[in-house]
């Protein structure tokens, strides 16, 4: 049997995906359960429901249901870690290239990047040298946008993220819901 770091989460991306949620990489609990955003204190699933993005409450065990509503989910880096600081720059660069191939293949209208740090890591791995210091507001970003796909930054819903209140996170998720309905 391999180590926990050899485990990989399966993407949940169905045909006709409208919004592709992108995390940085799976945490250890997600790797062990085989489900995205499975951390005990992660609020992703509650935010989806409270923001009106899904019509029923979900848990990490329901991540296979996301395609029912035109959503998909993946990560920049597939390797699970106990924290993103355990990831190497070369992993981000390789993961960013893989992510861009997934986006070209599935052509979601919106790529919802889950976390400012995820967005900055994506930009930096693609050669944006000032990405780490550039201010980022929640919502649509002009970088990387194409004719068919726009990028939307959401707050990181991890319980480790003490930068935003639940209400601030919810406001950003509701902003995404409004964009999806347009």
What dihedral do alpha carbons 64, 34, 165, 111 form, nearest 10°? -50
Q: What does the pLDDT read at residue 68?
A: 95
Sequence-distant (6+) residues with CB within 8 A of 41 are 158, 159, 160
Predicted local confidence at residue 23, as pLDDT: 93
Q: What is the predicted pLDDT for the residue at 108?
A: 97
139-182 pLDDT, tens digit per residue, is 999 888 888 899 999 999 987 766 889 999 999 999 999 999 88
pLDDT-derived band at 5, boundaries 50, 70, 90: low
For the chain, give the mean pLDDT: 89
- In tens, the pLDDT along 58-93 reads 999 999 999 999 999 999 998 888 877 788 888 888
End-to-end CA distance of the chain: 48
Lowest pLDDT segment from 16-20, 52-56, 88-92, 113-117: 88-92
> Cβ contacts of residue 76 below 8 Å, gap of 6+?
22, 23, 24, 25, 92, 95, 96, 99, 118, 121, 122, 125
pLDDT at 2: 60
Which of 4-18, 95-109, 155-169 is most confident?
95-109
Instruction: Return the H-helix or E-strand segment holding 45.
Output: helix 44-50
Q: Residue ranges per domain, the chain?
A: 4-181
Q: Above 60 in pLDDT, residue 1?
A: no
Q: In the CATH scheme, what is the code of domain 4-181? A: 3.40.470.10
Distance of CA 181 to CAs 16, 54, 109, 110, 178, Å? 16, 12, 12, 12, 5
Strand partners, 72: 20
**Higher-confidence residue: 41 or 131?**
41
pTM score, whole prediction = 0.92
- Positions marked active-site: 25, 36
pLDDT score of 4 = 65
């Amino acid at each position: 049997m391999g180590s926990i770091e050899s485990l990989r989460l399966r993407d949940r991306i169905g045909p006709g995906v409208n919004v592709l949620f992108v995390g940085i990489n799976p945490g250890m609990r997600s790797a062990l359960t085989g489900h995205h955003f499975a951390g005990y204190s992660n609020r992703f699933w509650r935010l989806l429901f409270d923001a009106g993005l899904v019509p029923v409450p979900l848990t990490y065990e329901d991540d296979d249901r996301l395609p029912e509503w035109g959503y998909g989910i993946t990560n920049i880096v597939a390797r699970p870690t106990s924290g993103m600081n355990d990831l190497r720059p070369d992993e981000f660069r390789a993961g960013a290239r893989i992510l861009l191939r997934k986006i070209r293949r599935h052509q979601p209208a919106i790529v919802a990047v889950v976390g400012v740090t995820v967005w900055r890591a994506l930009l930096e791995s693609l050669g944006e040298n000032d990405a780490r210091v550039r201010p980022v507001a929640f919502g649509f970003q002009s970088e990387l946008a194409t004719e068919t796909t726009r990028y939307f930054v959401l707050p990181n819903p991890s319980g480790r993220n003490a930068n935003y209140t639940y209400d601030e996170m919810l406001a950003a998720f509701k902003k995404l819901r409004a964009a999806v309905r347009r």
